[in-house]
Chains A and B, each alone.
Chain A
């Protein structure tokens, strides 16, 4: 008698699981049902693979070698996208730039996500006075003109490196996430499972990160996908202005910043135009994928 009940329970759980597929599964189903998102995913994977695997087929040493006999050469069989002001291969710079820009955008999204998650969970979990104080601080942070402060920090930090740049950018990128997560955490803390866990004496940190967080994870994933494109945009924009990556670390913004004189804009388009188009394509792909991910997290909007 007892055995059959257990079997039934297992079957029930299995059935329940089949009806409620995991988030990753839902996202995958949503993407494969949306032609734009699927196409975007394929294009993005191709771009990223060719960028991250570029050390296999591009001579990295040659990327840093300046060759004045070879400057501003138009695209040819040898240099697919010509050469820049130092005679360096633009295609190589483009791949290197894509790699740097994407890695940095990704790192910033990750660190900012972590900061926002921690802040939002703490505020939402405790609620009351702690929440009130933390939210007033957040109100203040949110009105800061962040681009301006990022620029000021970039200029004044001693020993400026890529790592410091990532940290500075992340420090100004988590405010919106914190607010979003806090509002969901506030709802979550009223639910029975949190109360039950608290009554059992589970440590608060454990409840926050191991019990509450899994239920907010879809929110976090959607938000991070949608902000990834934005963060890449901010990085390339700052580098374009000259306040981004340290010189010697090319970004897509570095290549576009060549387009400062009419001569280069018109006659030496191969230096900056591919980078501009590549940013556009990457951002479009990420946004289309982001939309699919967003739909996957909200059952009412799903196409699949």
Chain B
């Protein structure tokens, strides 16, 4: 296990390094400089600006500076908002995005598992039918469509909830719903099918024969075994929620990382683009690393240090 963790850790570092390098050379292949629009500046100011952002150096030197920036976690000043560093923007945006993401994941996991379990226990009943209809709709509707429809119904027509920003729990309801519905549907479906499989196993008959309470059977015996597939998809779901925050933050005008990223792309603010891309990727890769390790602890059958056999 220890060997596996160390190995995975180095793979994670390597992955982040490759992503960082790719981002750097991508940014440098863009024709033109970020100062092109501002024609007011005279050549001396232009030269000073380029010097300030180290754009006058040859590419490989810039690359070294960039690597240093990543290691020391200091991405320097933003180009479009010179009095703000990239770090300030990340520090301001990340907690909000993280809050949105964590709340959505919690909602998705809890409601998805509940829904899936009840659907499986009442197989082919009304609850099952209703839950699975919800799941198909949840999987089908893209989050930006859902968000727009939610705003129309609950914020504009009924005026129950605020349509935008992120300042009180009341503000969090609509964005969370919009972001969590898709993952909820996926988890509900997965829980249902794996519960149905577990419920037919012999040890379930055994548990019932022993006279255990239905509650205990479902929670201690069935659910525990049925949840393994859900841990497996946690990685891809995290990635989905992370990119989902881009769209949701944009629609609800939430000042999170996604907003800064979209803004920086539109402004061609290279330090911010590179900073947030690397930060996002590193965060994602780290989360996947955690999911892998949790999976290893949960299921002793899986020999993680030998990955060839998995299909």
**Residues on the B chain within 8 Å of A279, using CB:** 141-142, 145
**Contact of B136 (CB < 8 Å), options: A183, A266, A284:** A284
**Contact of A145 (CB < 8 Å), options: B139, B151, B284, B308:** B284
| B246–A147 CB distance below 8 A | yes
**Contact of A156 (CB < 8 Å), options: B26, B142, B152:** B26
**Contact of B142 (CB < 8 Å), options: A143, A233, A288:** A233
Instruction: Tell me how far the C-beta of A212 lies from the nearest C-beta in chain B, rounded to whole angstroms.
Output: 16
Choose, from B53-61, B204-212, B273-281, the stretch at the interface: B273-281
B135-163 contacts to A (CB < 8 Å): 136-137, 139-145, 148-149, 151-152, 155-157, 163
**Residues on the A chain within 8 Å of B262, using CB:** 151, 241
B47 interface residue (CB < 8 Å to A): no
| B239–A152 CB distance below 8 A | no
**Residues on the A chain within 8 Å of B151, using CB:** 259, 265
Instruction: Tell me how far the C-beta of A129 lies from the nearest C-beta in chain B, rounded to whole angstroms.
Output: 11
Complexed CA–CA distance, A272 and B262 (Å)? 23
A1 interface residue (CB < 8 Å to B): no
Q: Which residue of A lies closest to B14 (CB)?
A: A140
**Residues on the B chain within 8 Å of A243, using CB:** 265
Q: A152-B265, A186-B311, A287-B139 are in contact. Are A280 and B145 (CB under 8 A)?
A: yes
Q: A183-B311, A259-B152 are in contact. Are A152 and B145 (CB under 8 A)?
A: no
**Residues on the A chain within 8 Å of B102, using CB:** none
B45 interface residue (CB < 8 Å to A): no
Using a Cβ–Cβ cut-off of 8 Å, how many residues does chain B contribute to the interface with A?
A: 46
Instruction: Tell me how far the C-beta of B159 lies from the nearest C-beta in chain A, rounded to whole angstroms.
Output: 10
**Contact of A265 (CB < 8 Å), options: B23, B136, B156:** B156
B103 interface residue (CB < 8 Å to A): no
Q: A186-B311, A287-B139 are in contact. Are A144 and B19 (CB under 8 A)?
A: yes
Q: Do most interface residues of chain B lie in helix, strand or loop, or is the interface mixed?
A: helix
**Contact of B239 (CB < 8 Å), options: A145, A253, A266, A276:** A145
Q: Mark A222-257, 1 if CB is under 8 A from B, else 0.
A: 000000010001001100111100000000010010
Complexed CA–CA distance, A149 and B281 (Å)? 10
**Residues on the A chain within 8 Å of B280, using CB:** 145, 148
**Residues on the A chain within 8 Å of B273, using CB:** 152
Q: Mark A262-301, 1 if CB is under 8 A from B, else 0.
A: 1001100100110010011001101110010000000000
| B29–A262 CB distance below 8 A | no
**Contact of B277 (CB < 8 Å), options: A132, A152, A242, A259:** A152
**Contact of B30 (CB < 8 Å), options: A145, A156, A241:** A156
B49 interface residue (CB < 8 Å to A): no
Q: A143-B284, A156-B30, A266-B152 are in contact. Are A237 and B144 (CB under 8 A)?
A: yes
| A256–B148 CB distance below 8 A | yes
| A140–B18 CB distance below 8 A | yes
**Residues on the A chain within 8 Å of B173, using CB:** none
B232 interface residue (CB < 8 Å to A): no
| B152–A265 CB distance below 8 A | yes
B243 interface residue (CB < 8 Å to A): yes
| B281–A237 CB distance below 8 A | no
A155 interface residue (CB < 8 Å to B): yes
B297-311 contacts to A (CB < 8 Å): 308, 311
B242 interface residue (CB < 8 Å to A): yes
Instruction: Tell me how far the C-beta of B308 lies from the nearest C-beta in chain A, rounded to whole angstroms.
Output: 7
A107-122 contacts to B (CB < 8 Å): none
Instruction: Tell me how far the C-beta of A40 lies from the nearest C-beta in chain B, rounded to whole angstroms.
Output: 10
Q: Which residue of A lies closest to B31 (CB)?
A: A158
B171 interface residue (CB < 8 Å to A): no
**Contact of A280 (CB < 8 Å), options: B141, B143, B281, B285:** B141
Q: Which residue of A lies closest to B284 (CB)?
A: A145
Instruction: Tell me how far the C-beta of B192 lies from the nearest C-beta in chain A, rounded to whole angstroms.
Output: 14
Q: A145-B239, A256-B145 are in contact. Are A266 and B157 (CB under 8 A)?
A: yes
Instruction: Tell me how far the C-beta of B238 lies from the nearest C-beta in chain A, rounded to whole angstroms.
Output: 11
Instruction: Tell me how far the C-beta of B171 lies from the nearest C-beta in chain A, rounded to whole angstroms.
Output: 15
Q: A283-B142, A284-B136 are in contact. Are A276 and B311 (CB under 8 A)?
A: no
List 30 A-B pairs, Cβ < 8 Å. A143-B15, A143-B239, A143-B288, A145-B284, A146-B243, A148-B246, A148-B261, A148-B281, A151-B261, A151-B262, A151-B265, A152-B23, A152-B26, A152-B265, A153-B26, A156-B27, A236-B142, A237-B142, A237-B144, A241-B144, A259-B148, A259-B151, A262-B155, A262-B156, A265-B151, A273-B152, A276-B145, A279-B141, A286-B140, A287-B139
Closest 5 CB pairs of A and B: A283-B140, A183-B311, A147-B243, A233-B142, A266-B156
